[in-house]
């Protein structure tokens, strides 16, 4: 155990560092548990006793809009400032024809150089670095130099409090560097970088333009508490040289961005410097501590097990929430491939577009954490592209509603010329042979970014005698993501869930319903969804996500329709709108062909002797399958849309769900099972109530450090870094995808609010998939607008505390089987409930506590803290 969970030693060391007094406020209004959030959260801290050996292992700080990893060289402190709203180009670009060449988010590089001549300040031994995730404060102690760093939540400023304790102080240089040469032309695209000064402040401004597109950013740096001189180092670098002296001073780094040519982003960054200068580091730290204290009090999970595994899961759970609070409170969500943590300039594997499958790993579980503000960037992204998604549905597919592709730019999809759109429809719907595509279409497609969904049939190109030559992938108009239609439905489901979690009727009307209606209308009018001779609607020539192209009745698309149509119907009923559309959706839903299984004679994977009935990814014929089990086996209805839940009253369906999950693991699910970073199987296991699988899958997906402080994960065998990020997506694509998947599965194993069918009323279930060897306490938000606090010890549920936001009946599966449950209100016994389904009213803002008959409230009241 000591070798496998070496991280425990590291957090124990972290506990020895001085921390502010623990907050003893009650857990989100809990009347039972008094939670010491700081002692719980701080177990997720990072502590390095040696400098990061590579920049990607730096320690992350951010305010949700701007952020950086902080790393060191022997003589310097280093940062690359990134923002969520800086994009070199947009959906209309014709200039980035090569894969991974488009870029985003980088604003500039800042180094604080402590040594002109003398000893290293961050040597291999004797350098301590500690990131406190409870208050977002990074502390670093080197040889004669200490640094505290934070990202100010109120303004877009990163502040560095530096103390020079050396016997012979020397000038300290704060260098501001461009990410690229001053002018970079990439075909029709231009990137301009300009350095300037204003008094004793230095400024880096970037401008990106191509046609009508424009984006600019600014980075401004100031030094407080020391006299400084501005020095020009090179054409691409300015320096603020602080006079030598012992004692403390502060470096402030402000950033700004805009998509408007009329905005002066440099002035905006300087205003934020003024605000930070007026406050000073101490006041900024105090404001941040208040913000983070409130953030952590919204919910919590406290996990423990004798072998330390559950404790390890808890630490990573809280660390992921820290990462999202530090990167997901801006205009756009952080990019899955790097987030705000890239350190290599413009280098970013997978470029600047958003893949929903990757994005979902960050957002699928966040609603239950009771921090809806972390979801807003994702919702803003997709709501912001509704107009272009409606145009794309018409132009690309000849449908109605909205089409949200799997891969999309931050601003959606560009309009298409009329003739190109018409030919695209004929080609992509297989009404025209691929070989007959026109010269005009070929020329138009030649310069389009190959990762974009519309053009993803393009294989890697090459330059031949100065000409860019791009073959297709060998399957006509099909590619990995061209014919994926289901992503919009998965996104729409999260809009619906947001309504269910918050009971916000305005949200349902203004934000969720337009997306639900748009996706439902798209499927209902899709030209290749046709009624067959059997009287059922069949879907033709679409993908089953990336592994299967051009198949019939694919699971992803049929499940999407079975999932989203009931939600559109229910939402229209709640809002009393669109009765005619509701009837059309209901007609389609009632006549959809069944989900594909291996019983089907034309299944992509027909049933073998002795094999159980399994869900499969579609029916033949198909244009391409990648030759692995991913091409044929699936658990999609056990992951998305509430198609199979613990409330489902269909034994055959649930057997198929369980058998399908097991089929993905032919060697069984055991301690040797490897769960890849994006694998949704832990979510499925939780939704199916498979607690033994959860005990294996979640730690496997997170990964654990071995003797060399790394763990090999996934098929590509890449390592988890010391900062718990990984490079599974490629160069400079630091990610926390596996931590997001794990957070989602942890919460579903602790608490579920699930209906018997899509669009139904949720029923709460306590610890539906919780491992018997793990103890837990939590406060989480559940569908229905209930904030739930509970605890389990040695497999026994202690109590259930339910607080209602909007006031409504709570429906809950009896946590004690059929034993009698006693309901307390205001610490007074109010009623007794029996049966497997408990139903009780909770008024707005009221708290009800349930205990098993024979128990009392007093025996469960306690302080929850982590004792080292």
The per-residue pLDDT for 24 is 35
| pLDDT for position 630 | 59
Tokens of 28: 């989100």
Quick one: three-class SS letters along 31-90?
CCEEECHHHHHHHHCEEECCCCCCHHHCEEEECCCEEEEEEECCCEEEEEEEEEEEECCC
Which of 245, 273, 297 is at the close of a domain? 297
**Any domain includes 724:** no
Can you list the alpha helix ranges (DSSP code H) found in 598-680?
651-663
What is the distance between the alpha carbons of residues 43 and 22, in angstroms, rounded to a whole number? Answer: 13
3-state helix, strand, coil in the chain (%, to 5): 30, 30, 40
- Tell me if 850 is assigned to some domain: no
Output the pLDDT for position 488: 98
* Tens digits of residue pLDDT in 38-50: 999 999 999 999 9
In angstroms, the CA 851 to CA 463 distance is: 71
Mean pLDDT of 305-322: 97
Radius of gyration in angstroms for the set of CA atoms belonging to the chain, rounded to a whole number: 28
Last residue of some domain: 569, 602, 635? 602
Does residue 118 surpass a pLDDT of 60? yes
Q: Quick one: 291 and 413 in the same domain? A: no
| End position of a domain, from candidates 576, 602, 628 | 602
> Does 716 have pLDDT greater than 80?
no
- pLDDT of res. 713: 58
Q: Name the pLDDT band for 598 (thresholds 50, 70, 90).
A: very high
Q: Tell me the average pLDDT across 384-401.
A: 98
What mean pLDDT do residues 524-543 have? 98
- Residue 143: how many CB atoms within 10 A of its CB? 17
pLDDT (tens digit per residue) in 370-389? 999 999 999 999 999 999 99
CA distances from 693 to 309, 313, 737 (A): 14, 15, 20
Residues 103 and 242 in one domain: yes
Return the closest-CA partner of residue 618 out of 711, 543, 714.
543
C-alpha span between 781 and 301 (Å, rounded): 12
Q: Is the pLDDT of residue 715 over 50?
A: no
The pLDDT value recorded for residue 276 is 98
Cα 272 from Cα 353, distance rounded (Å): 29
Tell me how far apart the alpha carbons of residues 428 and 542 are, in angstroms, rounded to a whole number: 9
pLDDT-derived band at 626, boundaries 50, 70, 90:
confident
CA 284 to chain centre: 28
Is 195 among the domain residues?
A: yes
- The SS3 call for residue 835 is coil
In DSSP terms, 751 is beta-bridged to: 766
The pTM of the whole model exceeds 0.85:
yes
Which neighbouring-strand residues pair with 425? none
- Find out whether 221 and 202 touch, Cβ atoms under 8 Å: yes
Residue-wise pLDDT for 346-371, tens only, equals: 999 999 999 999 999 999 999 999 99
| Same domain membership, residue 546 and residue 437 | yes
Is the separation of the CB atoms in 714 and 677 below 8 Å? yes
| Interval 519-535 mean pLDDT | 98
147 and 271 assigned to the same domain: yes
The CATH number linked to 215 is 2.70.98.50
pLDDT surpasses 50 at 625: yes
| pLDDT for residue 632 | 74
Indicate whether 293 and 369 sit together in one domain.
Answer: no
Q: What is the pLDDT of residue 719?
A: 78
Same domain, yes or no: 292 and 371: no
Residue 774 placed within a domain: no
721 assigned to some structural domain: no
Contact of 762 with 783, CB cutoff 8 Å: yes
Residue 522 has pLDDT above 80, yes or no: yes
User: Does 293 share its domain with 389?
Assistant: no
pLDDT the model gives residue 330: 98
Residue 700 maps to a domain: no
Identify whether 285 is part of a domain. yes
Is 23 a residue whose pLDDT tops 90?
A: no
* Count of C-beta atoms within a 10 Å radius of residue 718: 17
Looking at residue 71, what is its pLDDT? 98
Measure Cα distances from 111 to 15, 77, 153, 240 in Å.
Answer: 30, 6, 22, 10
Round to whole Å and give the CA distance between 180 and 25.
48
Domains identified in the chain, total number: 2
Give residue 11's pLDDT: 34
Poorest-pLDDT segment among 18-32, 212-226, 653-667, 682-696: 18-32
For residue 179, give its domain range. 53-297
pLDDT for residue 27:
45
pLDDT at 21: 32
Same domain? For 290 and 419 the reply is no
Residue 181 has pLDDT above 50, yes or no: yes
Q: Is residue 277 part of a domain?
A: yes
Q: Indicate whether 371 and 275 sit together in one domain.
A: no
Domain shared by 536 and 426, yes or no = yes
Backbone φ and ψ for 286, nearest 5 degrees, come out as: -60, -45
263 and 373 share a domain? Answer: no
769 confidence band (pLDDT: 50, 70, 90) = very high
Higher pLDDT, 172 or 720: 172
Local structure of 475: helix, strand or coil: coil
Query: Does residue 500 register a pLDDT over 90?
Result: yes
Mean pLDDT calculated for residue range 247-273: 98
Q: What is the pLDDT of residue 707?
A: 43
Average pLDDT, integer, range 73-87: 98
Cβ(701)–Cβ(742) under 8 Å? yes
Q: What are phi and psi of 9, to 5 degrees?
A: -65, -40
Minimum mean pLDDT among 25-29, 64-68, 490-494, 696-700: which range?
25-29
Give me the mean pLDDT over the 162-174 stretch. Answer: 96
**What are 291-302's pLDDT values in tens digits?**
999 999 999 999
* Mean local confidence (pLDDT), 71-78: 97
Residues 371, 293 share a domain: no
């Amino acid at each position: 155990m000591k070798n496998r969970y070496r991280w425990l030693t590291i957090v124990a060391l972290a506990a020895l560092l001085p921390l502010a007094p623990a907050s003893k406020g009650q857990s989100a209004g809990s009347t039972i548990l008094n939670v010491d959030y700081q002692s719980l959260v701080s177990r997720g801290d990072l502590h390095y006793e040696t400098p990061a050996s590579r920049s990607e292992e730096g320690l992350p700080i951010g305010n949700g809009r701007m952020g950086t990893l902080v790393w060191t060289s022997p003589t310097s402190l280093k940062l690359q400032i990134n923002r969520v709203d800086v994009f070199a180009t947009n959906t209309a670009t014709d200039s980035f024809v090569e894969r991974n060449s488009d870029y985003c988010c980088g604003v500039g590089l800042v180094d604080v150089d402590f040594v002109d001549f003398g000893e290293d300040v961050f040597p291999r031994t004797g350098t301590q670095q500690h990131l406190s995730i409870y208050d977002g404060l990074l502390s670093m102690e080197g040889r004669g130099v200490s640094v505290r760093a934070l990202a100010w939540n109120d303004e877009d400023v990163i502040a560095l409090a530096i103390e020079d304790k050396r016997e012979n102080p020397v000038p300290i240089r704060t260098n501001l560097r461009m990410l690229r040469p001053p002018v970079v032309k990439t075909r029709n695209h231009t990137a301009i970088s300009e350095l300037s000064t204003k008094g004793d402040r230095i400024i880096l401004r970037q401008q990106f333009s191509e046609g009508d597109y424009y984006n600019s950013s600014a980075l401004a740096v100031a030094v407080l508490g020391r006299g400084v001189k501005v020095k020009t180092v090179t054409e691409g670098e300015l320096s603020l040289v602080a006079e030598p002296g012992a004692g403390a001073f502060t470096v402030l780094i402000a950033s700004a961005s805009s998509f408007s040519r009329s905005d002066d982003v440099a002035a905006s960054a300087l205003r934020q410097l003024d605000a930070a200068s007026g406050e000073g580091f101490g006041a900024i730290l105090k404001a941040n501590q208040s913000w983070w204290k409130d953030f952590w009090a919204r919910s919590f999970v406290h996990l423990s097990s004798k072998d330390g595994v559950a404790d390890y899961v808890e630490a990573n759970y809280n660390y992921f929430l820290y990462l999202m609070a530090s990167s997901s409170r801006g205009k756009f969500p952080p990019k899955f491939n790097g987030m705000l943590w890239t350190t290599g300039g413009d280098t970013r594997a997978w470029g600047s577009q958003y893949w929903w499958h990757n994005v979902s790993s960050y957002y699928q579980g966040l609603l239950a954490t009771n921090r809806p503000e972390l979801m807003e960037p994702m919702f803003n992204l997709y709501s912001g592209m509704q107009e272009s998604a409606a145009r794309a549905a018409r132009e690309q597919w000849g449908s109605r509603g909205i089409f949200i592709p799997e891969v999309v730019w931050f601003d959606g999809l560009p309009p298409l010329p009329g003739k190109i759109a018409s030919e695209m429809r004929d080609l992509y719907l297989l009404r025209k042979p691929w070989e007959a595509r026109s010269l005009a279409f070929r020329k138009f497609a030649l310069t389009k970014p190959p990762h974009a969904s519309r053009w993803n049939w393009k294989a890697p190109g090459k330059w031949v005698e100065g000409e860019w030559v791009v073959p297709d992938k060998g399957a006509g108009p099909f590619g990995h993501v061209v014919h994926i239609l289901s992503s919009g439905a998965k996104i729409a489901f999260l809009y619906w869930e947001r309504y269910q979690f918050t009971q916000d009727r305005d949200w349902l009307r203004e934000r969720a319903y337009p997306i639900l209606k748009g996706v439902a209308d798209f499927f209902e009018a899709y030209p290749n969804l046709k009624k067959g001779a059997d009287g059922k609607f069949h879907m033709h020539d679409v993908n089953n996500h990336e592994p299967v192209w051009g198949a019939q009745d694919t699971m992803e698309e049929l499940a999407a329709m079975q999932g989203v149509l009931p939600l559109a119907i229910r939402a229209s009923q709640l809002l009393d709108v669109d009765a005619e559309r509701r009837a059309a959706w209901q007609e389609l839903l009632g006549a959809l062909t069944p989900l594909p299984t291996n019983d089907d004679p034309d299944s992509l994977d027909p049933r073998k002797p002795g094999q159980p009935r399994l869900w499969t990814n579609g029916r033949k014929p198909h244009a391409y399958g990648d030759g692995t089990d991913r091409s044929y086996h699936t658990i999609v209805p056990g992951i998305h849309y509430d198609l199979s839940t613990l409330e489902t009253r269909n034994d055959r369906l649930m057997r198929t769900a369980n058998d399908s999950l097991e089929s993905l693991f032919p060697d069984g699910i055991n301690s040797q099972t490897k769960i890849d970073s994006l694998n949704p199987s832990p979510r499925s296991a939780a939704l199916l109530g498979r607690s033994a699988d959860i005990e294996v899958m979640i730690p496997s997906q997170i990964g654990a450090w071995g003797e060399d402080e790394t763990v090999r994960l996934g098929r590509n065998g890449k390592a988890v870094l010391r900062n718990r990020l990984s490079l599974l997506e490629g160069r400079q694509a630091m990610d926390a995808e596996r931590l997001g998947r794990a957070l989602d599965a942890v919460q579903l194993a602790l608490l579920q609010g699930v209906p018997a069918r899509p669009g139904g009323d949720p029923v709460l279930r306590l610890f539906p998939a919780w491992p018997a060897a793990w103890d837990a306490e939590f406060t989480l938000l559940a569908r229905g607008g209930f904030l739930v606090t509970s605890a389990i010890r040695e497999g026994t549920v202690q109590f259930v505390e339910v607080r209602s936001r909007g006031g409504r009946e709570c429906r809950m599966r009896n946590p004690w089987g059929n034993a009698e449950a006693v309901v307390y209100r205001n610490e007074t016994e109010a009623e007794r409930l029996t049966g497997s389904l408990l139903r009780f009213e909770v008024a707005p803002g009221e708290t009800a506590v349930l205990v098993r008959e024979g128990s009392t409230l007093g025996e469960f009241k306690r302080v929850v803290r982590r004792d080292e």
